[in-house]
Structure 1
Amino acid sequence: MDAHEIREGLTESNARRAMLTACVSAGLPQLPDAELLRLGENALFALPEAGVVVRVARSTEMADKVAKELAVASWLAGHGFPSVHPTDAPQPIEAHGRLVTFWEYVPNGSPATSVTILARLLRDLHALPDPDFPLPDLDPFPIMRRRLETASGIRREDAGFLAEACDEAEDAFRVLVASSSRHMVHGDAHRGNVLMDDDRPLLIDYEAVAVGPRAWDLVPTAIAVDRFDLPPADYAEFVRVYGTDVTEWYGYQVLRTTRELGMMTWLMQIAQSGPAADEFALRMESLRKGDLERRWHAL
């Protein structure tokens, strides 16, 4: 990977290059026009003809995280939990400074529309025994700080504000986590990480799986009422199905603040122009004003 690619981070162009090279190594067809499903912390490409989704991680520095994802996926499959499985291809494969993995493709898969589906999956996930292999402690701050250190194309004062906000939030988060019961959590539990295989929901994306308070998995849906216009009645049904209202927990606000900072530093990576830049500006204004009910828009 050349110096220019290192500076620009993960883009559709360099992710596609890594995907094509890795497909050759894995004995899969090269499809230069493969559909890009998602570009964020990773890039996902669909190869329907091969029944495979190719996942390109940002760098080889994510080796431990990639190995964890593969281990968690295999463990969930062993427990019969509805999840996506890695393929039998040798993996991960290093290509152009990225780590590439291969996952089963779900034909006609679509995101879940109901938070009730997510509530059932989380209830069942949290009922599983803790895995018999080590998982990292829940700690979203290192990745937020890495994003801030490599931020480009946004205002310096915005990056500075977020860095200070992380400093202020971190101590309270660590105290809360240290004093809470800790178990395996998905780490990024929202409707976008539930894929419908016909009528069967699958919990996907194991990048953020960690050991922490289970409340962490409930916070995104609670936030959605204030931030993303989730109807209160839908949230009430989520609570009924899962069995707990995280907003009534004393640690909710600490987790919400941390979660929102994570969402902001993720968005920051793609906020150089267009709708993402407009949304980033809107969210920054709400954070500066301490406005907890300002509507955000999903991207």
Structure 2
Amino acid sequence: MTEDNARHAMLVACDAAGLPGIPDARLLRLGENALFALPEAGVVVRVARSKEMAEKVAKELAVARWLAHQGFPSVHPTDDPQPVEADGRLVTFWTYVPDSAPTTSVTVLADLLRDLHALPDPDFPLPPLDPFPIMRRRLEVVSGIKRDDVQFLAEACDAAEDGFRSLIATSPQHLVHGDAHRGNILCDGSRALLIDYEAVAIGPRAWDLVPTAIAVDRLGLPPGDYADFVRSYGFDVTQWHGYPVLRTTRELGMTTWLMQNAQSGAAADEFALRMQSLRKGDLEQRWHAL
């Protein structure tokens, strides 16, 4: 998926839904999904990579509606008929929230996760936490990446999977966001909202704490900020016996996600840096968020 073909799918879907599609609508994010902001219509349009993601898209909508019913601070889907199929992709529509604050502190994230984890498990089925199928799918369909890099990542996934599944099997299972980091927080005035429900699953709550812990070594998060995160949430995942397994799995996910757009430019440079550190087993090599 490129920005151009995602934009075309967005315009087709907007036309089908009777929304004013805007050719120069602002791209917010391009990853597993492309997100376009249509502020005049009060809508964010989310374009999934493939219509094969139908179950995941349906889950996102169900989770968002359930969170709204629970009164949890979250973004809501619009009332437009959805999802809409356009150009072989699935498109959904969400309430536009202009982000009104600078980068959110990790304590805000900790508070949101603490409150999320305090909710009852939903009364509808959610998939078990399992990041490996999507990582393998990325590796199967990617182009423009060196074969040696793809092979290394595939073998690294094979090596990590048994330990991950053993840990999951012996850990309590509850609602988890699945991709909990500050980039998935919006500030609506003074109210912080946890967004992006694509990876919501049933799994160990520790999974949601791992990204912030990794950020100290990988993304330059000050140790004092991480200490604040721990105090706010009430648990230090780095002291848990399962942390190394979850960290390895999460870093493979971070790298295969970046790989999808790493054919040139800054993403290619960052991908090469991450591959070098993974090959060396260097857990302190600084990465950069893109």
> Tell me, what secondary structure is at the counterpart of 1:154?
coil
Q: Return the alpha-carbon distance in structure 1 between the equivalents of residues 166 and 214 of structure 2.
A: 21
Instruction: Check if 1:100 corresponds to 2:81.
Output: no
For residues 98-125 of structure 1, the C-alpha deviation after alignment (integer angstroms, 9 at most, x for no partner) is 0000000012445643000000000000
Q: Do the aligned partners of 1:111 and 1:192 also contact (CA within 8 Å) in 2? A: no
How is 1:66-145 mapped onto 2 (pairs within 5 angstroms)? 66-109=57-100, 112-145=103-136
1:36 corresponds to: 27
Instruction: Check if 1:159 corresponds to 2:158.
Output: no
Instruction: Check if 1:250 corresponds to 2:250.
Output: no
For residues 138-187 of structure 1, the C-alpha deviation after alignment (integer angstroms, 9 at most, x for no partner) is 00000000000112111110111100000000000000001000001000
Amino acid corresponding to residue 174 of structure 1 in structure 2? R
1:262 corresponds to: 253
Q: Do the aligned partners of 2:259 and 2:271 also contact (CA within 8 Å) in 1? A: yes
Q: Return the alpha-carbon distance in structure 2 between the equivalents of residues 11 and 170 of structure 1.
A: 30
> Tell me, what secondary structure is at the counterpart of 1:229?
coil
**Which residue among 28, 36, 39 is the counterpart of 1:48?**
39
1:23 corresponds to: 14
Give the direction of change, closer, same or farther, for the CA distance of 1:111–1:134 in structure 2 (3 Å limit): farther
How is 1:189-204 mapped onto 2 (pairs within 5 angstroms)? 189-204=180-195
> Tell me, what secondary structure is at the counterpart of 2:56?
helix
What is the Cα deviation at residue 197 of structure 1?
Answer: 1.1
Amino acid corresponding to residue 46 of structure 1 in structure 2? A
Q: Do the aligned partners of 1:111 and 1:195 also contact (CA within 8 Å) in 2? A: no
Q: Do the aligned partners of 1:52 and 1:103 also contact (CA within 8 Å) in 2? A: yes
Give the direction of change, closer, same or farther, for the CA distance of 1:65–1:109 in structure 2 (3 Å limit): farther
1:59 corresponds to: 50
Q: Do the aligned partners of 2:99 and 2:186 also contact (CA within 8 Å) in 1? A: no
Q: Return the alpha-carbon distance in structure 2 between the equivalents of residues 293 and 219 of structure 1.
A: 15
Please report the TM-score for the alignment, with normalisation by the length of structure 2: 0.99
Q: Return the alpha-carbon distance in structure 1 between the equivalents of residues 229 and 106 of structure 2.
A: 6
For residues 257-276 of structure 1, the C-alpha deviation after alignment (integer angstroms, 9 at most, x for no partner) is 00000001001000000000
Q: Return the alpha-carbon distance in structure 1 between the equivalents of residues 125 and 11 of structure 2.
A: 32
Instruction: Check if 1:179 corresponds to 2:179.
Output: no
Q: Return the alpha-carbon distance in structure 2 between the equivalents of residues 44 and 151 of structure 1.
A: 21
Q: Return the alpha-carbon distance in structure 2 between the equivalents of residues 223 and 129 of structure 1.
A: 27
Identity of matched residues, %: 80
Q: Do the aligned partners of 2:164 and 2:245 also contact (CA within 8 Å) in 1? A: yes
Q: Return the alpha-carbon distance in structure 2 between the equivalents of residues 289 and 167 of structure 1.
A: 17
Instruction: Check if 1:227 corresponds to 2:199.
Output: no
What is the Cα deviation at residue 293 of structure 1?
Answer: 0.3
Instruction: Check if 1:278 corresponds to 2:258.
Output: no
